[in-house]
Amino acid sequence: MPEINMQIKNHNGTEWEKLNPKTTKEQVQGLTSDLETIQAIAEGASRARVFDTTAALDAWLAVTGNKAELRVGDNFYTRATAEADYWWDGAARQPLSTEKVILENASAQNAGLMSSEDFTKLAGLSNYTHPTGDGNQHVPATGTGNDGKVLKAGATAGSAAWGGLTADEVGAARSTILTVGLVPPSNPQNGDVWFDYNN
């Protein structure tokens, strides 16, 4: 029989490029059994059975007729976190090489139905205490009695309150006068502007 090789190619938008290395017939045939096993285990996850311990699994397998219910690839999960999970190869249980599925609730020490890091993070949310130091208080209540007022800092920590502003706090209001002509404005005040035609 002539050698059968398979060349995988990738189209780069203009032409097909060969991807190296070339896959030989022997390499493809060698993968067949491994791929069939992986597929069987994946399909068996949907037919998984759960046992408290490996001993309980073995006791179930020892019962006449139970093995007849199994298909190659069926998964067996154990609740005991220190014990492995298994799959059925058609004759005996085999340990799963994938990460163990932990069916217990998570704790601060162990991962479970959520990671131990997430457990610790979520557990801490219920213990939140809002800081009470100066600068951490809420804005004082508003309402019709405080309409139009501004929030003013008090002389002591945490004493902000709504209030009005006095003329001394903002400076006396005045109008700047702009004058254009030959004669300077009468009674000028600081800030007035005059455009003098004489110069």
Dump pLDDT digits (tens) for 33-47: 666 667 766 665 667
Closest CA to 80 of 106, 47, 54, 109: 54
- More confident position, 64 or 58: 58
Domain extent for 9: 5-95
Q: Whole-angstrom Cα distance, residue 115 to residue 88? A: 28
Q: Is residue 115 part of a domain?
A: no
Provide the number of structural domains found in the chain: 1
Question: What is the share, in percent, of the chain residues with pLDDT greater than 90?
Answer: 9
pLDDT > 80? residue 170: no
What CA–CA distances, in Å, run from 111 to 25, 81, 96, 115, 195? 44, 10, 19, 4, 82
Asked if residue 38 is part of any domain, the answer here is: yes
| Residues 85, 73: Cα–Cα separation, whole Å | 12
**Residue 80 located in a structural domain:** yes
For residue 178, pLDDT beyond 70 = no
Is residue 119 domain-resident? no
Does residue 122 fall inside a structural domain?
Answer: no
Does some domain include residue 22? Answer: yes
For residue 199, being part of any structural domain is answered with no
What's the token pair of residue 50? 């759960």
- Average confidence (pLDDT) over 3-31: 59
What confidence category does residue 79 fall into, taking pLDDT thresholds of 50, 70 and 90?
Answer: confident
Residue 167's pLDDT is 66
* Average pLDDT score over residue span 115-137: 79
Kindly state whether residue 39 falls inside one of the protein's structural domains: yes
Helix (H, G, I), strand (E, B) or coil at 154: coil
